[in-house]
Amino acid sequence: MLLENRTALVTGGAGRIGRAIADVFLREGAAVVMADLDGKRVAKAAAELGAEYPGKVAWTAGDQSKPEDAARFVTEAEEKLGLPDILANAHGIFPNCPLVDVTVEEWDSVFNVNVRGTMLTCQTLARRWIDARVKGAIINISSGAAKSGRPGGAHYSGSKAAVDALTHVFAIELGPHGIRVNAIAPGLILDNVITEESDDLHPYVNLTLKGTPIGRTGSPYDIAEAAAFLASERSGWTTGAILEVTGGTHTGRTHMPTTRQLR
Ligand SMILES: NC(=O)c1ccc[n+]([C@@H]2O[C@H](COP(=O)([O-])OP(=O)(O)OC[C@H]3O[C@@H](n4cnc5c(N)ncnc54)[C@H](O)[C@@H]3O)[C@@H](O)[C@H]2O)c1
């Protein structure tokens, strides 16, 4: 097992990616505190996973973009299962709205949740880890959107580009303390893996499939397995990395023909 005797705080624990990360971390031997804005859903997810891993799952609820809630995630986690030495930031919001229509409120909410929320849990745990000499590991869930613009995604892409940047800076600042900070940039992750285009699907899904060399959408578990690697000592010399887990969509103009066909 990769994560025996470790404790993880997983934010967005009620979400599709956060829950899968919690599940894989548990399978790899860690204890997991799941945190989320949605108290009901995170309690239910924790109860379901806790039935499989008794005594190893706890939960907490709050708004991670608020400093007092982010701090409480950490203190409650410590009270319930001990000071976490892994942080997976898998919370987030992803509204889609053209620039000409976006309101300042929507703009700010995306940056508050995705960027400030990520910074706050990193900062709170980094302070505790430095004091307690814990060589922790942070995994931030970024997005392929950080480097690949799309219509309606100015605030979302901007927020995820910021997550990439703060991952780099935190890796520089925390590396001397033995703390590693990495990010995962997922491609399209749905609840169910889709392998074939169809008229019943949203055009976004069909177009994504066309541009995915591996030929399917991602599973939350594709991201969770990468997170387990980044949390473990197997990646002991990896910090400041943005790991693209996209089925290859990030590589370029993946569905273009070869240029020798140009005459
Ligand atoms: N699903 C994808 O295709 C995809 C692709 C790239 C990146 N991502 C990123 O992965 C992360 C998780 O996405 P997902 O698909 O699991 O989405 P999801 O909506 O299933 O889960 C996100 C979770 O974050 C929680 N959350 C939202 N605001 C919060 C706040 N202020 N405080 C605490 N928790 C809050 C939600 O309640 C939800 O449970 C997000 O950061 C998202 O941007 C997702």
Average pLDDT over residues 22-28: 98
Query: For a pocket test of ligand 1, which of 10, 36, 245 has the largest count of ligand atoms closer than 8 A to its C-beta?
Result: 36
Single-letter residue type at 157: S
Domains of the chain (ranges, CATH numbers): 7-193+219-261 (3.40.50.720)
Helix H or strand E encompassing 108:
helix 104-111
The percentage of the chain sitting over the pLDDT mark of 70, rounded to a whole number, equals 100
Which ligand 1 atom sits closest to the C-alpha of 145? 6
- Over residues 189-221, the pLDDT tens digits come to 999 999 999 999 999 999 999 999 999 999 999
Query: For a pocket test of ligand 1, which of 17, 141, 190, 223 has the largest count of ligand atoms closer than 8 A to its C-beta?
Result: 17
Give the max Cα distance, the chain. Answer: 68
53 catalytic? Reply is no
- How is 14-30 classified by DSSP, letter by letter? TSHHHHHHHHHHHHTT-
pTM over 0.95: yes
**Which residues, other chains included, contact 137 with Cβ-Cβ below 8 Å and sequence gap of 6+?**
85, 86, 87, 179, 180, 181, 182, 230, 231, 232, 235
Check 53, 156, 204, 221 and give the catalytic one.
Answer: 156
Average pLDDT over residues 40-51: 98
Instruction: Say yes or no to pLDDT of 263 above 80.
Output: no
- Over residues 49-90, the pLDDT tens digits come to 999 999 999 999 999 999 999 999 999 999 999 999 999 999
Instruction: Say yes or no to pLDDT of 130 above 90.
Output: yes
